[in-house]
Amino acid sequence: MAENDPGIEAWKEQTSAFDRVRSVAEAVAQPQSAAAIADEARVAENTARSHLERLVGMNVLLKTDREGTALYTPDPLYVRIRTLRELLDEYDHDGLIGLKEDLQERIETWRAEYDVDAPETLRERAGEAEQVEQTSEIRTTANEWELTRYRLTIVEDAIENYATYSRDDRATT
């Protein structure tokens, strides 16, 4: 987006620098430098670095060093716990069981459709595909399968620990 984009200007006016840095940093797929995050968050690099260090201290981000450059990425434990909380806020115990069934059904469908037991095996098949459309479809399915499998582990955790984790009186065992 261009710097004078009205959406960027509204985002800057309505969101604090800390919230913009956090939003950008939590969304990165690969570790990013403070400079890259600052650019995307539309803040000065020193401001971004300060906020990123605060987020590291809050266990929201992980900081690594690559050739003398600090890189930041979402802490997978924080992401997992946040997702777990969102699930518990959205679903009761029975709803979580229904969600588990839906996720299991998706995985079973992919197993049957592609005749493989895991997304890693499916990804290997993408390397053997002869048409770009087929390669893309298989890679997309493998990515969705990995994400679904991960989400299933969180749902199972929520079900298993519902009475402990739930914030309300809906908790049943």
Q: What's the pLDDT tens digit per position in 23-34?
A: 999 999 999 999
Is 158 contained in some domain?
yes
In this structure, the answer to whether residues 62 and 87 fall within a common structural domain is: no
Is 122 contained in some domain?
yes
Work out the pLDDT band at 5, boundaries 50, 70, 90.
Answer: confident
Q: Pick the last residue of a domain from 45, 74, 103.
A: 74
Q: What's the pLDDT tens digit per position in 83-99?
A: 999 999 999 999 999 99
Q: What is the pLDDT of residue 173?
A: 45
Is 173 contained in some domain?
no
In this structure, the answer to whether residues 86 and 157 fall within a common structural domain is: yes
Is 172 contained in some domain?
no
Contact (CB, 8 A) for 93 and 170: yes
Q: What is the pLDDT of residue 12?
A: 84
- Expressed as residue numbers, the domain containing 82 is 78-165
Q: What's the pLDDT tens digit per position in 134-167?
A: 899 999 999 999 999 999 999 999 999 999 998 7
In this structure, the answer to whether residues 158 and 82 fall within a common structural domain is: yes
Residues 83, 9: Cα–Cα separation, whole Å: 30
Per-position DSSP letters for the chain, written without gaps between them: --TT-HHHHHHHHHS-HHHHHHHHHHH-SS-EEHHHHHHHHTS-HHHHHHHHHHHHHTTSEEEEEETTEEEEEE-HHHHHHHHHHHHHHH--HHHHHHHHHHHHHHHHHHHHHHT-SSHHHHHHHHHH-SSHHHHHHHHHHHHHHHHHHHHHHHHHHHHHTHHHH--STT---
In this structure, the answer to whether residues 55 and 103 fall within a common structural domain is: no
Is 144 contained in some domain?
yes
Q: What is the CATH number of the domain that holds 59?
A: 1.10.10.10
Q: What is the pLDDT of residue 1?
A: 44
